[in-house]
Amino acid sequence: MAKDDRDIKQVEEESKQDEELVFDTSKMTAGQKEAMEVAESAREKEWRKPSFASKLFMGDFDYDLVKSFPAQDAEDKKLGDEFLKKVEEFLVNNLDPEEVDRTNEIPKSVIDGLFELGLFGMKVPKEYEGLGFSQINYNRVATLVASYCGSTATLISAHQSIGVPNPLKMVGTEEQKKQFFPRLAKRSISAFALTEPGVGSDPAKMSTMATPTEDGQHYLINGEKLWCTNGPLADLMVVMTRTPPKIVRGKEKQQITAFIVERDTPGIEMSHRCEFMGLGGIYNCLFKFKDVKVPKENILWAEGRGLALALRTLNAGRLTLPAACTGLGKYCIAVNRRWGKDRVQWGKSIADHEAGAQKVAFISSMTFACEAISLLTSAWTDKGEMDLRIEAAMAKLFCTEAAWKMIDETMQFRGGRGYETARSLKARGEEGYAIERAMRDSRINLILEGSSEIMKLFLAREAMDPHLRLAGDLINPRTSIGTKLSTAAKLAGFYGTWYPKQFINGSYFSSYPEMGELGKHFSFIEKKAHKLARSFFFYMGVYRDGLEKKQMILGRLVEAGTELFAMAATCSYAKHLYDQDRTDNSPLELADHFCTLARRRVNDTLKSLSSNDDVASNELSAKVMDGKMKWLEDGIIWTGPKD
């Protein structure tokens, strides 16, 4: 995420403003309205810096932002190269990922060694005893570690991306930074506590409460927090709670506040360490808080700004996941290349059979795309010149979905050996490729830090934002007739020229000759950006305030936009690599293959906007949920609760 360089006082002043919702909430239930208000109050409402993807949704392919791939500084790359060698040597000599998976523990000696290497301080600025790494080098480390041990990668990433270091870096006071940063870099693991047992993606239902003490110097926290990654090992954690509501313009306004909490504070109980399908060595738990006394100085950012901080923190985590997915893809390529040569069926290697060749080509080109997206968003983050809230979500959505498809194809390519554990393979004398462990470890990526479904809704909301801002006064029932008429006139003026341009424009003549053979894909992106923009506008007009319920339509629009972003990143990266060594044409080949497949996906997705089975699927689902097809459940042994 782009660095927010505004000072904290300015942000706190902005947080006090009660901005009007751009949605008409008059037809919503009280619960729906409350959820909408909480979510909208936490959004970053201003666009102070350019966003490539935001423009894309408005039919504007900003070629200047992607024509030159932002190369990593030579000194920074050298620093990263040297560090990666140290990390690789340490992990190979000291950590057995299979033992971590079997015992559900990362040895303390390994964690201590990671602290000595500085891995827990990569995001801590140098002036506070950290390494102060760039986002590019941080993500390069994430790629390396994730390719070897998913549990260890999670430990390191959760500590820095969603734990205390990142929010502290974004909005912490100088006193907080001096107090906590050195600990976080040298000896203290951190955790993040947001989710609750009864709360999924709806923060309006959060029940954990922080109540001020009588002297106003402390808060008492009571409640429960579920799935706190790193919780069992943590010395410090970010805890999201409700604080007493405030009256703004005569109306009660919910307050969600973030606190830095010391793990050894009396009243904190780790009641359960969670076990999962994968990531055997992940440290994740349920915390119970009973009258946990926290000084008011430990509030992060400001009272009532906790959810906004949580969203920004998750943004940072979303930039790390593409790097981890890239590591998985590279591992899949390495396994498939070796196995595809060694395994012979019907007189030739399985990679020479068309079915096998298709898998190898798909995985290779998709991995290249993930690397391009990861490096591009990392470079943009380091430059701090762009608003990346949409790009970060797109990167998370695309790369996690891609990684799951890649590991699934690799499992199929390996056959029964893919399903067998690495320990078992080694025990009987074969190479211990850990495909089944990688599959189990990677499945969570489609869920954590915003599931694919939530990512699509988030992206749809941000894509619609320019339109909603323009039409906000028109759809707001509290707006005066005069304002509505004035807004309607402005809308007519804007859309009178904007909408026709989405049909008739220069994209039909664009060729991008400087991109060489990849120019055709840039032309495709520009043309489809216009179609995407007019499609968004069309469905907003058709469904109006009911569009939020059309999640399949919104999902398809977002998927198409995400594919276009991935194509742009991949072509830009390929051209950059080719220009460095014009004797090697492979980057262009990878990008061309990826874009060829992506174009087919985009076309199919946009076609399915008008040709789909959404209504029939919804009707069938309703009948199943109503119990009208309960007979389908006959013939099984049911061990769960009775209806």
Residue tagged 């029940």 (tokens)? 207
Separation CA 629–CA 239 (nearest Å) = 43
519 CB-near residues (< 8 Å, 6+ apart): 511, 512, 513
CB 146 within 8 A of CB 327: yes
Determine phi and psi for 346, rounding to 5 degrees.
55, 40
Q: Is 275 exposed, middle or buried (0-12, 13-18, 19+ CB in 10 A)?
A: exposed
Name the DSSP letter for residue 161: I
Q: Is 12 exposed, middle or buried (0-12, 13-18, 19+ CB in 10 A)?
A: middle
Read off the amino acid at residue 563.
E
| Active-site residue, 449 included | yes
CB 87 within 8 A of CB 119: yes
**Terminus-to-terminus CA distance in the chain, angstroms?**
46
CB 144 within 8 A of CB 304: no
254 CB-near residues (< 8 Å, 6+ apart): 34, 37, 38, 41, 204, 242, 245
What number of CA atoms fall less than 13 Å from residue 453's CA on the CB side? Answer: 8
CB 225 within 8 A of CB 292: no
Q: Which of 371, 409, 449, 559 is catalytic?
A: 449
* Strand 190-193 with 236-248, pairing: parallel
Name the DSSP letter for residue 2: -
Contacts 24+ apart (CB under 8 A), 455-460: 455/393, 455/396, 455/397, 455/558, 456/397, 456/551, 456/554, 456/555, 456/558, 456/559, 457/551, 457/554, 458/393, 459/390, 459/393, 459/394, 459/397, 459/558, 459/561, 459/562, 460/554, 460/555, 460/557, 460/558
Separation CA 339–CA 356 (nearest Å) = 11
DSSP per position, 28-41: S-HHHHHHHHHHHH
Sign of CA dihedral 332, 336, 339, 345: positive
- Catalytic residues, by residue number, are 449
